[in-house]
Structure 1
Amino acid sequence: VRCFEDSNVVHNMGNVDPIRDIEVITTELILADLESVEAQIERNRKKAKAQDKEAMANVALLERLVPHLNDNKPLSTLEFSDDELVRLKTFNLLSPKPVIYACNVSEEELEKAEGNPYVQQVKKYVKEQHGASCCVISAKLEADLSELSVEEAREFLKDYGVQDSGVSQLIRASYDLLGLASYFTAGEKEVRAWTFRKGMKAPQCAGVIHGDFEKGFIKAEVVSYDELVAAGSYQKARELGKYRLEGKEYVFQDGDVALFRFN
């Protein structure tokens, strides 16, 4: 959502008001869901008349959604049991999906974005009304960075007193919102990041690479990225006791660097 003033960039609704923009988008999602829910209720009611148990369960849940949507509230703010969440996904609705709000500020404001009154409004509103979070980005700065080399981009960012345009923060926040994390594998030819769900144990994470790794899992050699960088090498990490051998019950952490042993 736009959180900056610029007379050269005309807002399609006349003035800058991020809360209004959020409410407009949210309302559109709610109306689309309401239309879909009502259509699905009708379809399932026909099947329920024939004592179709799945259809009857669908109707019960769908009917619970209607008053919440009619109150102009997204389904992400309605509480569901685990079983209801599984069923809810089959309805293919929009507003139950997790949301993160990106506050788009000007390049000049990026370094001190926390003091931007629009950003403050968005943070307060989305936390209170949607139980959501937000992050700060500069779309204009990101567009400029896309045309530069890595080294040029670093120097460009230094001029604005920041390390990145906010996109890295947005990616990390999105991963966290979805319950995802990354671990690394590193060899002579390449370093690669693998995405896994938080809470997954070592064999499951091995299976992200290949199913055979999970089936034949023996051990995982693990060191955290920060500890490896601080040590400077695998050998030094071993000497410092940071390089560990983990078994099947080890819960992988974001930023782990791993080598899997498998049969």
Structure 2
Amino acid sequence: MPPQGFRFEEIDVSKPHPARIYDYLLGGKDNYEVDRRAGEALVAAAPEARIGLRANRAFLQRAVRHVVGDGIRQILDIGTGLPTSPNVHETAHETAPDTRVVYVDNDPIVRAHADALLSGAGATSIVLADVRDVQTILDHPDVRRVLDFGRPVAVFLVAVLHFLTDEERPRQIVAALRDALPSGSYLVLSHATGDFNDRTDAQAVYNKATAGLNLRPYAEIEPFFDGFTLAEPGLVQVPFWRPDMSPPARYKEVGIYAGVGRKD
């Protein structure tokens, strides 16, 4: 059964969607046949894709614990994707139940499922908006209701910016978000790369989806943290950002960089 408020006519099921491919590869159920076919094609093209996406999800949870442990009580998660437990607010609330969280995504199915999940969740909200329109996000009444930009905020852009082309100016988008944040705020970011393998075939899978995959090298990802001080160990492959245990050797093939930076 779809969640209350969900309208099928809002959803394009003729093409795979990155959030639903992600959900499928994480073992979720909120996906369609077109997404499952794309997910299998992605794994065939990039065998490490499934472990990479799971490592990315684990990084997200570790990063939440890190920023909350440093006193952050406000999180803006842009490009949140379909809810996968434990979610950002659930992870944050394990340490600090007063943490306020706003999720942002441009996919109506994400909002529908998140609305159902967040009913009764208190100071947590979901906003339907696009990362390409930063000002709309920052000015959205639900964002302003939950978050106080006079106090530090952690902005999460986890596995989002690689769906933007250079023409869509991802660096300027991150800079606009940075400039809206007070000192002591955080940027949590992960981004796909082709530094470790040729992933032309994987890109081809996303080129048939609702958003293409734009792999970037380390030298183009690190500048997203301009104006932030990277926490140790810096910008590294996602399984190696403060892992809870030593990752297996095969994780060295994972083509996703991740980092956490604090605004000075």
TM-score grouping bracket, smaller chain normalisation: under 0.3
Of structures 1 and 2, the larger Rg is shown by 1
Q: TM-score, normalised by structure 2?
A: 0.26
TM score, norm. by length of structure 1 = 0.26
Which of the two has greater helix per residue?
1
